[in-house]
């Protein structure tokens, strides 16, 4: 049987998903700066044949001397999905395997990380025809609970909140205003957060979609669909073993993070700028917690932001974490893509 502390290196799974070029990127003939080599390897900023050719061409020489060398860096992850992968493939390779851990009593958390437009919400929520991993995870969870129902009774509640500008808002009940966090032993309780009992996953997609429509979104220069909020979907499971009447509570958190691009890139000022810096605060704090966990430090700075306080009982320790890093393959976002690959690499060493 499992010991109380599992080997830490097995507790995080890092998955990278490269979305297809958008129509505009295709029309603009954008250079592709990510090659998916196989199901584990990516080459960032690859050297291309024609570039090598031009480099040796005498006429272009002067110009190409000034041109930055391609980085041509290999990155290895637990799983890599290219532009052809659909949400079912991503589900199979990312969250499907954690459902066992959840039903074994381990808190789990799933993050989608990446710049705005990289495909985070597509991965998490998806569309009616092609639901994302949250819905698929719930369907699988219900199927596995069904197969265990002779041994155990289950009760499921879900909540959906956002952290926006370091303020917590209930996405299922937005009229309740700003909610406060209260320390409660190992974790944190969100006072007044609505918990919806679920007995069938089919209601889930509507619930998620409705919640997503309540997310705070502000158009910015960089991208009209920019999202500066972290959407936190949480599933609480109470399991009661029939033979012993023992009960256990477990939590699965799925988080659609705010865009990881630099605040400066959105050209905002005033309110926008403050929003940007506050979001950076939660993302920065998450990064610092990941760094501290990766370094095996004793002190993990969970208290530094709302997001990390919320996830204190679901990160590190016995928890299972899945990080899905979303990237665009197009050249204009090369800096964001590079940063996301570096962030994901860091998470790998937890
Ligand atoms: P983010 O949430 O990271 O800002 P989105 O999920 O909204 O990004 O994706 C940006 C755009 O790209 C959307 O129009 C979305 O439908 C599209 N898109 C993202 N990923 C994929 C994919 N794997 N296949 C097809 N379209 C995608
Ligand atoms: Mg989004």
Confidence of residue 4 (pLDDT cuts 50, 70, 90): very low
Contact partners, residue 279, CB within 8 Å, separation at least 6 = 165, 228, 229, 230, 258, 259, 263
Instruction: State whether the beta carbon of 217 lies less than 6 angstroms from ligand 1.
Output: no
More confident residue, 87 or 288: 87
* pTM score, whole prediction: 0.89
Ligand 1 centre and the CA of 123: distance in Å? 8
More confident residue, 86 or 350: 86
Please state the separation of Cα 116 from the chain's center in Å.
12
The pLDDT, as a whole number, for residue 145 is 96
Instruction: State whether the beta carbon of 251 lies less than 6 angstroms from ligand 1.
Output: no
DSSP secondary structure string, 56-117? H-TTTHHHHHHSPPP--EEEE-SEEE-TT--HHHHHHHTTTTHHHHHHTT--EEEEEE--TT
Look up tokens 């637990």; give the residue.
Answer: 78
Sheet strands (E) in the chain: 12-18, 34-36, 41-44, 73-76, 79-81, 108-113, 152-164, 167-170, 178-179, 181-184, 187-190, 196-197, 230-241, 247-256, 320-327
DSSP secondary structure string, 288-300? HHHHHHHTT-S--
Cα–Cα–Cα angle for 214, 220, 221, rounded to 5 degrees: 160
58-67, 110-119, 151-160, 233-242 — which is least confidently predicted? 58-67
Ligand 2 centre and the CA of 149: distance in Å? 36
Q: The tokens of 236 are what?
A: 């609480």
Mean pLDDT of the chain: 86
Instruction: State whether the beta carbon of 230 lies less than 6 angstroms from ligand 1.
Output: no
The pLDDT, as a whole number, for residue 240 is 97
Confidence of residue 176 (pLDDT cuts 50, 70, 90): very high
More confident residue, 64 or 39: 39
Share of the chain above pLDDT 90, in %: 63
ipTM for the predicted complex comes to 0.99
C-alpha distances out from residue 130 to 19, 123, 126, 135, 185, Å: 15, 10, 6, 10, 39
To test the pocket of ligand 1, the residue of 34, 117, 218, 225 to mutate (highest count of ligand atoms within 8 Å of its CB) is 117
d(CA 18, CA 326): 6
164-178, 209-223, 249-263 — which is least confidently predicted? 209-223
**For 96-114, what is the mean pLDDT?**
95
Q: The tokens of 179 are what?
A: 């909610």
Q: Which of 40, 46, 121 is nearest to 81 (CA)?
A: 40
**Nearest 10 degrees: CA dihedral of 288, 289, 292, 298?**
140
Between helices 271-294 and 334-348, what is the axis angle to 10°? 30
Instruction: State whether the beta carbon of 113 lies less than 6 angstroms from ligand 1.
Output: no
To test the pocket of ligand 1, the residue of 25, 119, 124, 324 to mutate (highest count of ligand atoms within 8 Å of its CB) is 119
The pLDDT, as a whole number, for residue 275 is 54
pLDDT digits (tens, 9 = 90+) for 272-307: 445 555 557 888 899 889 888 888 889 999 999 999
**For 257-275, what is the mean pLDDT?**
59
**For 198-223, what is the mean pLDDT?**
78
Ligand 1 atom 17, closest CA: 119
Dmax (CA) of the chain: 81
Confidence of residue 66 (pLDDT cuts 50, 70, 90): low
């Amino acid at each position: 049987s499992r010991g109380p502390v599992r080997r830490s290196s097995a507790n995080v799974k890092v998955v990278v998903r490269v979305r297809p070029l958008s129509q505009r990127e295709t029309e603009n003939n954008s250079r592709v700066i990510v090659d998916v080599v196989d199901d584990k390897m990516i080459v960032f900023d690859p050297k291309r044949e024609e570039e090598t050719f031009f480099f040796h061409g005498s006429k272009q020489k002067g110009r190409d001397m000034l041109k930055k060398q391609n980085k041509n860096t290999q990155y290895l992850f637990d799983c890599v999905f290219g532009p052809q992968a659909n949400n079912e493939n991503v589900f199979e390779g990312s969250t499907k395997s954690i459902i066992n851990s959840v039903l074994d009593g381990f808190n789990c958390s799933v993050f989608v990380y990446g710049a705005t437009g990289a495909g985070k919400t597509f991965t998490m929520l998806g569309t009616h025809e092609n639901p994302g991993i949250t819905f698929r995870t719930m369907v699988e969870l219900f199927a596995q609970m069904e197969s265990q129902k002779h041994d155990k009774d289950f009760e499921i509640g879900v909540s959906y909140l956002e952290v926006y500008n370091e303020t917590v808002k209930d996405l299922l009940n937005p009229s309740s205003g700003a909610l406060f966090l209260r320390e409660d032993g190992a974790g944190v309780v969100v006072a007044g957060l609505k918990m919806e009992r679920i007995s069938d996953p089919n209601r889930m997609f509507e619930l998620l979609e409705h919640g997503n429509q309540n997310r705070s979104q502000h158009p910015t220069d960089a991208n009209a669909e920019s999202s500066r909020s972290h959407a936190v979907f949480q599933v609480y499971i109470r399991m009661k073993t029939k033979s012993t009447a023992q009960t256990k509570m477990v939590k699965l958190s799925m988080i659609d993070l705010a865009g990881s691009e630099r605040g400066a890139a959105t050209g905002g000022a005033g309110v926008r700028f403050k929003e940007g810096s506050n979001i950076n605060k939660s993302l920065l704090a998450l990064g610092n917690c990941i760094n501290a966990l990766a370094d095996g430090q004793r002190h993990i700075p969970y208290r530094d932001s709302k997001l990390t306080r919320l996830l204190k009982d679901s990160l590190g320790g016995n928890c299972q974490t899945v990080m899905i890093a979303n990237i665009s393959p197009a050249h204009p976002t090369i800096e964001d893509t590079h940063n996301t690959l570096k962030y994901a690499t860091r998470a790998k060493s937890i």
